[in-house]
Amino acid sequence: MDETLPPVGLGTMGIETPEPVTTALDVGYRHLDTAQIYHNEHVVGAGVAASDVPREEVFLATKVWADSLAPDAVLASTQASLARLGVDTVDLLYVHRPIESYAAEATLPAFDALVDAGKVRHVGVSNFTIDELDEAMATLDAPLFAHQTEYHPLFQRPELVVHAQEHDYHVVAYSPLAGGQVFENEVLQDIAEKHDTTEAAVSIAWLRSMQHVVVIPKAASEAHLRANFAAQDVRLDAEDVTRIEEIEDEVELYPE
């Protein structure tokens, strides 16, 4: 891959004011993730504009929702996203889900056209299966840059990570704290106590221990923003990693 994503970014679903975005940039975040369906692109854009961090230092990602994946709608909705974000170019544009108006042979050339036009720097997909990933890579002219998927100790998909490693793109793990359920898991509690940290930090550190994986926890308070960002410095040992991999829970927060 021609660019490395910051290891811990900010997921912004549910963030309704610019202040957490600006605070995140002040803390050190440089990867911001939003989506058309979150209805807060204007909020994220305002948070970036209010920060002292130059725009070129911020990796900004958004997603085209399932009702706008026909070619003309991809182009129109992306232009609207850029306007809401207050930018000329977005660093990463995702297909949010391969449903409704998505058809690889029609949708993905529109994403390529946006790259060619300089509106988008990288193309990504989200919530895809391996077969859908293979189809996307075969259809796109641009390299697949990222696959965003729910991933946490209670919902593990190692085959997706292996696929990303084999094909040299990023896995972007959303909901890495399982909506707070990581705090209730005894294995994570035990490992957190061992390292004098939190279950959230253990979950983030576990995901970060995998090659090609970055995480985008959502947080709004400065305390949580700082804690999630600092979690990238937690180092788990091989025993910790094995214990987490052996967790048998199956908690999917966002099924199709």
pLDDT at residue 1, rounded to an integer: 67
Q: In the prediction, which pLDDT does 249 show?
A: 86
Its pTM stands at 0.97
Q: For residue range 108-138, what is the model confidence (pLDDT) as tens digits?
A: 999 999 999 999 999 999 999 999 999 999 9
pLDDT at 223 over 90: yes
- Residues whose CB is less than 8 angstroms from the CB of residue 166 and which lie 6 or more positions away in sequence, other chains included: none
Q: Is 81 helix (H, G, I), strand (E, B) or coil?
A: helix
3-state secondary structure of 190: helix
Q: What is the mean pLDDT of residues 49-63?
A: 97
Q: Quote the percentage of the chain above a pLDDT of 70.
A: 99
Residues with a known catalytic role: 38
Q: What is the mean pLDDT of residues 11-30?
A: 98
* pLDDT at 185 (0 to 100): 97
pLDDT of residue 103: 98
**What is the chain's Cα-based Rg?**
18
Report the alpha-carbon distance of residue 40 to residue 42 in Å, rounded.
5
Domains and CATH numbers, the chain: 10-179+214-220 (3.20.20.100)
Q: How does pLDDT run across 32-44, given as a tens digit for each residue?
A: 999 999 999 999 9
Mean pLDDT of the chain: 97
What confidence tens digit (pLDDT) does each residue in 241-256 have? Answer: 999 999 998 899 998 7
What does the pLDDT average to over 179-205?
97
* 200-227: average pLDDT: 97
Instruction: Look at 250 and 97; give whichever has higher pLDDT.
Output: 97
- For residue 2, the model assigns a pLDDT of 67
Name every residue whose Cβ is closer than 8 Å to that of residue 199 and which is 6 or more positions away in sequence.
Answer: 177, 182, 183, 185, 188, 189, 191, 192
pLDDT for 226 equals 98
Cβ contact 32:58 at 8 Å: yes
Burial class, 226, CB count within 10 angstroms (exposed 0-12 / middle 13-18 / buried 19+)? middle
